[in-house]
């Protein structure tokens, strides 16, 4: 079993209005990770991704590209060490 990891992501670029949250949730569920994703008022997307480190890394890698209509310019990643345990993966509003 791989070590559990939690990452907080801040995704910048053309990432709102392009189904970024929907596709992030889909990719996260397919990877078997937990957490959430939401739009922020400044036009960025924030996500918290938790699970086995390779699965978390795969979602981070996907976020660097995003869905076809997105134009990601940056993904800031912060590793969180005392995160609460999440169940499922949600879109927050």
Cα–Cα separations (whole angstroms), residue 41 to 12, 76, 85: 12, 17, 26
39 an active-site residue? yes
Could you say which of 21, 25, 38, 53 is catalytic?
21
In this structure, the number of other CB atoms found within 10 A of the CB of residue 49 comes to 29
Extended beta strands in the chain, E state: 4-14, 34-39, 45-52, 71-79, 89-91
Which residue in the list 8, 26, 39, 53 is annotated as catalytic? Answer: 39
26 annotated active-site = no
- Residues acting as catalytic residues: 21, 39
């Amino acid at each position: 079993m791989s070590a559990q990891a939690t990452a907080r992501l801040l995704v910048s670029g053309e990432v709102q209005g392009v189904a970024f949250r929907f596709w992030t949730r889909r990719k996260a569920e397919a990877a078997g990770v937990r957490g959430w994703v939401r739009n922020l008022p400044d036009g960025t997307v924030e996500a918290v991704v938790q699970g086995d480190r390779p699965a978390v890394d795969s979602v981070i890698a996907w976020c660097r590209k995003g869905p076809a209509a997105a134009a990601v310019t940056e993904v800031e990643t912060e590793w969180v060490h005392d995160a609460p345990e999440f169940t499922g993966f949600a879109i927050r509003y």
